[in-house]
């Protein structure tokens, strides 16, 4: 298993370099000269030249890229053009809320998705199966913001059940009500795909010999379904949930923007809209690295759950 | 997957080799859901193509005497905050949204298809191409859209680039998988034995036999691509006002959600209908043309 994990780490290295290069480009291809922006409109030519020297903007691009990697490794992502705060400090404040939102979404989506998918597989071909599948196709086809708009309008505005702008604080400090609607929005788009994948996986396992054996030796149907079928079906489901990471990340960016949730995604969108390139670069880098890490963890989990993978 | 399906790629490849094989349409028509989805998509497509003829009003004409009207007889979908007719804007918005998705899927599909097929044909290039694909997979489409919009400025180009990058790696994998299957066929060996050139082998023998798999996969992806495109529009990374694009229209309507919810919900619902129809048609097409392809 160790070799497998090392191999995965090696494979994700070029991807990491790609992420860094893209973020570096973000700082390079800025339409305006960063030195001029920092110096301000009335600055003398010498001041601009001095800032340029200080930022190392006179050196060749490959050297600058290496220096950039060095800075990133030291946690230095530059300063925001707008607020003049360190980007790393601003990012540190936003990571918590984003993780909270994603976990909240998963906590809603995974149990619902697994239950509905298993139910559909067990009642294959019945009206229950058809309804669940219709529901999940509709879910897969729903724009995240559509669900968000409906939840805001009804549960937030008309019925006044939950707050729908901003985050009042961490969960352990009375922040739970403000998390409900964003997490519901993000979670509900994931229920459909997870239910669909679970159904396929459970159906495949239900036809297996060991399920027939379990039934033949007189186990109760619930035990067969939960302990034998669902447990084995979880292996592909875990990977497939991992594949939804892109979905989750994109959904989080939209959800955060809608609910003014102070996370990384909203920081990125806001920074791009206001041409704050250092902040945009930092936020995009964190999101991309988060995505890479999720995939890595899922791959490792997969090897752990299914020892057969090692052989191939 | 049954053992027969695994052992019989030859038959499947020949059967699905040509897209417009007779019977496909007939089999599709037998599936009521697929038929309905096809009709809806066709109508939406026609409305988008003939948008200037179909829309009752000028989508950009503001009328401050008719602001935020709910759906009524003159304006079936109501009017927005500047008095523009929402039905007309939805028709034009659909045109832009569909165009984005199509351009993304066609360019991405072509690039990904070529990469995948070349990877299968030249084992030496295989590792490099697939490594490149892995790197591309490391970027979720929304992130690409954000990054491109940050570098070049928000606009339709940024969205198209993001959609292409989102399409290429998956298509490359599917195309490679299909092409590796075809490579093992006897006719490939026969072609090589009688001295057919690499170019002909790749284009006539390999590509033509993979194209239906790629096509089905792209149909399956189309809905998702539209969703990504409209999400980028919603985030303000795509079409800029006053251009009508469904995602952006939903974002603009958000500010008036409590006074006039229809401004935001109608464009959102339009996206839902398009994507749903595309997904249903994609599923049905897969079942008919290429049941082995899993999403």
Q: What is the DSSP string of B223-280?
A: HHHHHHHHHHHHTTSSSPTTS--HHHHHHHHHTTTTT-THHHHHHHHHHHHHHHHHHH
Q: What is the pLDDT of residue B16?
A: 45
The whole-angstrom separation of Cα B175 and Cα B181 is 10
* pLDDT value, residue B291: 63
**Burial status of residue B8 (CB atoms within 10 A of its CB: 0-12, 13-18, 19 or more):** exposed
Instruction: Tell me if B272 and A143 make a contact (CB, 8 A cut-off).
Output: yes
Give the closest-approach CA distance of B188 to chain A in angstroms.
27
Closest CA to B154 of B238, B271, B40: B238
Contact map slice: A 136-195 vs B, CB within 8 A? 137-138, 140-146, 149-150, 152-153, 157
Q: How far is CA B154 from CA A28, A137, B228, B232, B239, in A?
A: 17, 31, 15, 10, 7
What pLDDT, on a 0 to 100 scale, did the predictor assign at position B90?
A: 94
pLDDT tens profile B87-111: 999 999 999 999 999 999 999 999 9
Looking at beta carbons, which residues of chain B come within 8 Å of A287?
140, 143
| Whole-number percent of chain B with pLDDT over 70 | 90
pLDDT class for B23, splitting at 50, 70, 90?
A: low
Please tell me the predicted confidence (pLDDT) of residue A288: 87
pLDDT value of position A309: 56
pLDDT of B73 > 70? The answer is: yes
Reported as a single tens digit per residue, the pLDDT across B211-262 is 888 988 898 899 999 999 999 999 999 888 888 999 999 999 888 888 888 9
H or E element in which residue A71 lies:
helix A61-73
- Which single residue is written with the structure tokens 């523009």? B84
DSSP annotation of A172: G
Smallest CA-to-CA distance from A101 within A196, A190, A19 is with: A190
Return the closest-CA partner of residue B267 out of B233, B219, B222.
B233
Report how many Cβ contacts below 8 Å link chain A to chain B.
Answer: 140
- A34-44 pLDDT, tens digit each: 677 677 777 77
Which pLDDT tens digit goes with each residue over B263-285? 999 999 999 999 999 999 988 88
Residues 8-47 of A with CB under 8 A from B: 11-12, 14-16, 18-19, 22-23, 25-26, 29, 31
Residues 204-263 of A with CB under 8 A from B: 245-246, 249-250, 253-254, 257-258
Q: How far is B81 from chain A (nearest CA, A)?
A: 17
Percent of chain B residues topping a pLDDT of 90: 36
Predicted pLDDT at A71: 87
Distances (CA, A) of A97 to A6, A166, A171, A246: 31, 10, 10, 18
Residue ranges for chain A with pLDDT beneath 50 = 311-312
pLDDT at residue A17, as a whole number: 86
pLDDT tier for residue B143 given thresholds of 50, 70 and 90: confident
pLDDT at B5 over 70: no
Q: Give me the mean pLDDT over the B185-208 stretch.
A: 86
Residue B8 pLDDT level (bands cut at 50, 70, 90): very low
B228 with B135: CB under 8 angstroms?
no
Residues of A in contact with B143 (CB under 8 A): 249-250, 284, 287-288, 291
pLDDT of residue B6: 37
Encoding tokens for residue B27? 């089999």
- Return the pLDDT at A187: 92
- So what's the pLDDT on residue B172? 93
Distance CA B271, CA B274 (A): 5
Instruction: Please report the pLDDT score of residue A214 as a whole number.
Output: 85
Instruction: Mutation target for B interface from A145, A254, A284: give the one with most B CBs within 10 A.
Output: A145
């Amino acid at each position: 298993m160790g070799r497998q994990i090392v191999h995965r780490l090696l494979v994700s290295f070029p991807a990491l370099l790609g992420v860094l290069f893209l973020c570096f480009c973000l700082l390079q291809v800025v339409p305006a000269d960063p030195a001029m922006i920092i110096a301000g409109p009335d600055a003398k030519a010498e001041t601009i030249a001095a800032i340029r020297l200080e930022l190392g903007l006179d050196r060749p691009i490959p050297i600058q890229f290496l220096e950039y990697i060095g800075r990133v490794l030291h946690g230095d992502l530059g300063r925001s053009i707008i607020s003049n705060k360190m980007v790393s400090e601003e990012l540190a404040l936003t990571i918590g809320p984003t993780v909270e939102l994603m976990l909240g979404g998963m906590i809603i989506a995974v149990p619902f998705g697994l239950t509905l998918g298993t139910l559909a597989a067990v009642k294959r071909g019945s009206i229950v199966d058809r309804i669940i599948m219709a529901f999940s196709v509709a879910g897969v086809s729903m724009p995240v913001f559509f669900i968000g708009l409906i939840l805001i309008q009804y549960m937030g505005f008309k019925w006044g059940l939950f707050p729908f702008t901003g985050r009042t604080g961490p969960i352990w400090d009375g922040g739970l009500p403000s998390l409900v609607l964003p997490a519901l929005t993000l979670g509900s788009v994931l229920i459909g795909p997870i239910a669909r994948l679970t159904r396929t996986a459970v159906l495949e396992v239900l036809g297996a010999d060991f399920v027939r054996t379990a039934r033949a030796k007189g186990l109760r149907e619930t035990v067969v379904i939960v302990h034998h079928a669902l447990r084995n079906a979880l292996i592909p489901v875990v990977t497939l949930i991992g594949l939804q990471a892109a979905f989750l990340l994109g959904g989080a960016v939209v959800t955060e923007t809608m609910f003014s949730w102070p996370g990384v995604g909203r920081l990125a969108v806001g920074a791009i809209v206001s041409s704050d390139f250092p902040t945009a670069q930092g936020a995009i880098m964190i999101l991309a690295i988060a995505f890479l890490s999720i995939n890595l963890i899922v791959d490792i989990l997969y090897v752990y759950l299914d020892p057969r993978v090692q052989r191939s | 997957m049954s053992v027969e399906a695994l052992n019989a790629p030859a038959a499947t490849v020949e059967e699905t080799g040509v897209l417009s094989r007779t019977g496909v349409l007939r089999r599709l028509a037998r599936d009521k859901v697929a038929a309905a989805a096809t009709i809806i998509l066709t109508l939406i497509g026609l409305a988008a193509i003939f948008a200037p003829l179909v829309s009752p009003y000028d989508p950009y004409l503001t009328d401050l005497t008719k602001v935020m009207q709910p759906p009524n007889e003159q304006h079936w979908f109501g009017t927005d905050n500047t008095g523009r007719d929402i039905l007309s804007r939805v028709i034009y918005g659909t045109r832009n949204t569909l165009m984005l998705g199509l351009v993304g899927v066609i360019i991405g599909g072509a690039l990904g298809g070529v990469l995948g097929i070349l990877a299968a044909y030249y084992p030496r290039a295989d590792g490099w191409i697939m490594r490149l694909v892995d790197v591309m997979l490391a970027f979720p489409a929304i992130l690409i859209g954000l990054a491109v919009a940050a570098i070049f400025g928000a606009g339709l180009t940024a969205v198209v680039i993001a959609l292409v990058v989102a399409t290429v790696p998956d298509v490359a994998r599917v195309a490679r998988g299909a092409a590796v299957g075809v490579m093992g066929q006897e006719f490939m060996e026969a072609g090589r034995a009688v001295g057919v050139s690499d170019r002909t082998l790749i284009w006539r023998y390999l590509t033509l036999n993979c194209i239906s798999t790629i096509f089905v996969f792209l149909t399956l992806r189309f809905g998702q691509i539209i969703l990504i495109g409209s999400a980028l529009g919603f985030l303000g990374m795509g079409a800029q006002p006053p251009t009508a694009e469904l995602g952006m229209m939903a974002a603009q309507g958000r500010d008036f959600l409590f006074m006039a919810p229809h401004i935001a919900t109608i464009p959102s619902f339009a996206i839902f209908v398009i994507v749903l129809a595309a997904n249903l048609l994609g599923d049905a097409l897969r079942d008919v043309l290429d049941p082995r392809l899993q999403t």
